[in-house]
Amino acid sequence: MKTGKQGVQKKTGLMIVLSSPSGGGKTTIAHRLLKRDKNVIRSVSCTTRKPRPGERNGRDYFFTTPARFKAMAARKQFLEWAKVHNHFYGTPRRWVVEQMERGRDVLFVIDVQGGKAIKKGHREALLIFLKPPSFSVLKGRLEGRQSEKKADLKIRLDNAKWEMREGRHYDYHVVNDRLGQAVSQVAKIIKKERQSGRHPSA
Ligand code: ADP
Ligand code: 5GP
């Protein structure tokens, strides 16, 4: 593993990035994957967005204020961070380093900017992009989730168009049509990468 200035220092577990447009199924698929594969653990990000009903601080995100977020960014406490759909999101660096040095595979459920930033510092990172079967299915799923107000929903759907284009930088693309199949495909990719020798210490 390469060493970025703020990166992970030792050769260890896999870095697995899962991205998609909002509503693409990242959270759902990550949840199922984590149940299935006990060597994979999820990085919990910091965010300045408000919690959704049912979300728990420290489990889904570390919910924080813009001022605290900025202070953390200034102290280089994020492995990467980005502004997404008008809120800030960042991956706490220290926890990731500790887990990877213990040999755990770390899953990052982050946006395409974050995925590209991680790949830049860690070329061996595995980038998986989830695609919806169609834009109308994506819209239906996002609306069905009922987690955003109309204006926020519009921002997310508008952003989905360039996020879909940015997906071209990813190593693998998985269409999230039937959930079970998509989860199996992601699990298969991870297994294949572990066995490939491209991740010598995995
Ligand atoms: P993301 O984390 O990428 O924003 P979610 O995992 O929250 O997306 O999924 C968005 C919505 O779509 C959720 O209500 C989820 O239950 C639903 N969903 C995800 N994958 C599928 C699928 N394959 N088939 C049907 N509904 C799905
Ligand atoms: P949501 O508000 O729907 O939970 O997340 C919005 C977007 O921010 C999603 O694409 C999600 O993956 C992304 N995101 C969550 N955490 C991070 C992070 O730490 N870094 C980056 N770059 N994106 C993140």
Mean pLDDT of successive 10-residue segments in the chain (202 residues)?
Answer: 46 90 97 95 98 95 98 98 97 94 94 97 96 98 93 95 96 98 97 80 54
User: Could you say which of 1.20.58.390, 3.40.50.300, 1.10.287.810, 3.30.930.10 is the CATH number of the domain covering 2-196?
Assistant: 3.40.50.300
The preferred substitution site among 77, 107, 110, 138 for testing ligand 2, maximizing ligand atoms within 8 Å of CB, is 110
pLDDT at 70: 98
Give the start-end residues of each E strand in 85-194. 87-92, 105-109, 126-131, 172-175
- Angle between helix 112-121 and helix 150-166 axes, rounded to 10 deg: 40
Burial (CB < 10 A; 0-12, 13-18, 19+), residue 171, is middle
pLDDT at 196: 86
pTM of the model: 0.93
Where exactly are the structural domains of the chain? 2-196
Distance of CA 37 to the CA centre of its chain: 17
pLDDT at 1: 36
pLDDT at 200: 54
Residue 22, ligand 1, Cβ within 6 A: yes
Find tokens 């009922």 and name the residue.
146
Residue 145, ligand 2, Cβ within 6 A: no
pLDDT at 136: 97
pLDDT at 2: 34
The preferred substitution site among 89, 149, 159, 166 for testing ligand 2, maximizing ligand atoms within 8 Å of CB, is 89
- Which ligand has its closest atom nearest to the C-alpha of 25? 1
